[in-house]
Amino acid sequence: MAAILAVTEQRSNTLRKVSQEVVTAARSLADAMGATVDALVLGSGAVSGSGDLGGIGADRVLTGTHPEFNLYNPDGYASTIASMAGGYQAIIFAATATGRDLAPRVAARLGQGCATDVTAMSVEGGKIVVTRPIYAGKALQKLRLLGSPAILSIRPNTFAVKPSSKTGTAESISVPAFTARVTVKEIKAAAATTLDVAEASVVISGGRGLKEPANFKLLEDLAAAFGNAAVGASRAVVDAGWREHGAQVGQTGKTVSPGLYIAVGISGAIQHLAGMRTAKVIVAINKDKDAPIFKVADYGLVGDLFEILPRFTEEVKKLRSEH
C-alpha cells in the first residue's frame, strides 16, 4: 500500500506544534491517494507529544533515537530520512528553520527536486499537485510533482489540524551511521514565552509610527491580553535596531499567515504587504486615513495609536475575563 512520510520536529524532546500540521497535511493527501501515513520522530529520547499523532491521522509513529538528536543534526537527520525513503510516495516537511534546511538535503540525496512552502495540495491523476506562493505571494504557482518520492514542505499555520482516529502504532527505527559535518552546539533561546511570528495565531506588528523602541511595550501588552500572540515589526524599525531581525514581517523578513494580523503604525509598503497578506483577518491602526495598509485591512481604525492601544488592550482583557 502507498505510504506518506510526515517528518515531525521536536525541541528538547517535545514535539513542536507545526508537527501536527505536517501530519494533518499528510493525512489529507493519504486519504486522497488511498495511502497510509507514517509520522517520523527523531530525538535523543522519548519525545513528548508523539503519542498524540494517531489522533490526527498517523497510522504509525516511527521513532529514531540517537544521543546526538537532542538538537537538530542536519547530517544525521538527512541520512536517516534518505535511508528510509524507498517505498514512500511523498515525504512532507514543515517549512520552518529546520524543515527548510533539511528538506533540500534529503531531496538532493534522493536526486529529486523539492517543492517548498506549499499552501494547498491535491491529487490529480495519481500525482500530487501543489500550490505555492512565489514573488512574495504576488503570484501562485501550481506544480505537478513527478518525482518519487515527491518531496515538499508546507507553510506553517496553513493546514488546520484535524482530528482523526488512526492507531498511531509506535515503532522504533534504526538510525544509520552518519558523519556529522555540521554541529548544532546550542540554542540561545529568546525568552521562553516568545512565540515566533511565523507560527503564532495572532501577530501584532509595529512600525515607525511607534516613535521609539520602548513603546513596543504597548504591543507586548496587547499580545499578552490575547495570550497566543507574537509581536512583529516592519523593516523600518528592524533596520533602526528597535526590534530583532527575527520579528521582521515582509518580503525580506518572514511570511506570516496568522488568524489575525494587527498592523500598528505601519504604512503598508508593498514589501510589508507581501509578508502578511495571507493572514485570515487583518486589522490596521494608523493615524493617516490614506495609508495603503487600509486597502488590505478588513478592519481599519484611524487614529493615534498611543490613545487606541491602551483601550484596545483593556477591551480584550475584559472580554477574555468574561469568557
Partner 1 sequence: MKIAVCLKRVPDTTAKIVIAPDGKSIDESGIKFVPNPYDEFAIEEAIKLKETAGAGETVVIGLGSDATAETLRTALAMGIDRAILLQATGSPDGFEVAKALAAELKPGGYDLILFGKMAVDDYNHQVGPMVAELLDLPCITTVAHLTIANAGVHAEREIEGGIEIVTCALPAVLTCDKGLNNPRLPSLKGIMAAKKKPLETKPATLGGGSFELIGLSLPPERSAGKIVGEGVDAVATLVNLLRTEAKVL
Ligand X SMILES: Cc1cc2nc3c(=O)[nH]c(=O)nc-3n(C[C@H](O)[C@H](O)[C@H](O)COP(=O)(O)OP(=O)(O)OC[C@H]3O[C@@H](n4cnc5c(N)ncnc54)[C@H](O)[C@@H]3O)c2cc1C
Instruction: Tell me how far apart the alpha carbons of residues 294 and 285 are, in angstroms, rounded to a whole number.
Output: 9
| Angle in degrees, 0-180, between the axes of helices 74-83 and 97-109, rounded to the nearest 10 | 50
Nearer to ligand X among residue 78 and residue 237 (C-beta): 237
The residues in 160-179 that bind partner 1, with binding defined as CB under 8 A, are: none
Q: Does 181 bind partner 1 (CB under 8 A)?
A: yes
Number of residues that bind partner 1 (CB under 8 A): 96
41 binds, among ligand X, partner 1, none (CB under 5 to 8 A by kind): none
**CB distance 121 to 29 below 8 Å:** yes
Point out which span in 27-35, 45-53, 160-168, 189-197 binds partner 1 (CB under 8 A): 189-197
Instruction: Tell me how far apart the alpha carbons of residues 36 and 58 are, in angstroms, rounded to a whole number.
Output: 8
Q: Which chain residues interact with ligand X by CB under 6 A?
A: 207-209, 234-237, 248-253, 265-267, 269, 271-272, 275, 286-288, 291, 304-306
Nearer to ligand X among residue 174 and residue 252 (C-beta): 252
Instruction: Tell me how far apart the alpha carbons of residues 323 and 97 are, in angstroms, rounded to a whole number.
Output: 35
**Distance of closest approach, residue 301 Cβ to ligand X, in angstroms:** 9
Q: Does 32 bind partner 1 (CB under 8 A)?
A: no
Nearer to partner 1 among residue 37 and residue 103 (C-beta): 103
| Stretch 100-119: interaction string toward partner 1, x if CB under 8 A | xx-xxx-xxx-xxxxxxx--
- Taking the alpha carbons of 290, 291, 292, 293 in that order, is the dihedral positive or negative? negative
272 binds, among partner 1, ligand X, none (CB under 5 to 8 A by kind): ligand X
Nearer to ligand X among residue 137 and residue 265 (C-beta): 265
Contact partners, residue 249, CB within 8 Å, separation at least 6: 197, 203, 205, 232, 233, 234, 255, 256, 272, 275, 276
**Distance of closest approach, residue 132 Cβ to ligand X, in angstroms:** 19
Instruction: Tell me how far apart the alpha carbons of residues 321 and 317 are, in angstroms, rounded to a whole number.
Output: 6
Q: Does 146 bind partner 1 (CB under 8 A)?
A: yes
Nearer to partner 1 among residue 46 and residue 146 (C-beta): 146
**Distance of closest approach, residue 306 Cβ to ligand X, in angstroms:** 6
Cell of 190: 529568546
**Distance of closest approach, residue 277 Cβ to ligand X, in angstroms:** 12
Burial of 26 (0-12, 13-18, 19+ CB in 10 A): buried
Q: Does 96 bind partner 1 (CB under 8 A)?
A: yes
Nearer to ligand X among residue 57 and residue 275 (C-beta): 275
Instruction: Tell me how far apart the alpha carbons of residues 131 and 154 are, in angstroms, rounded to a whole number.
Output: 10
**CB distance 42 to 128 below 8 Å:** no
Identified binder of partner 1 from the candidate list 120, 129, 170, 236, rule CB under 8 A: 129
Among 281, 321, 288, 282, CA closest to 304: 288
The residues in 191-210 that bind partner 1, with binding defined as CB under 8 A, are: 194-196, 198-199, 202
Phi first, then psi: what are they for 319, rounded to 5°? -60, -45
234 binds, among ligand X, partner 1, none (CB under 5 to 8 A by kind): ligand X
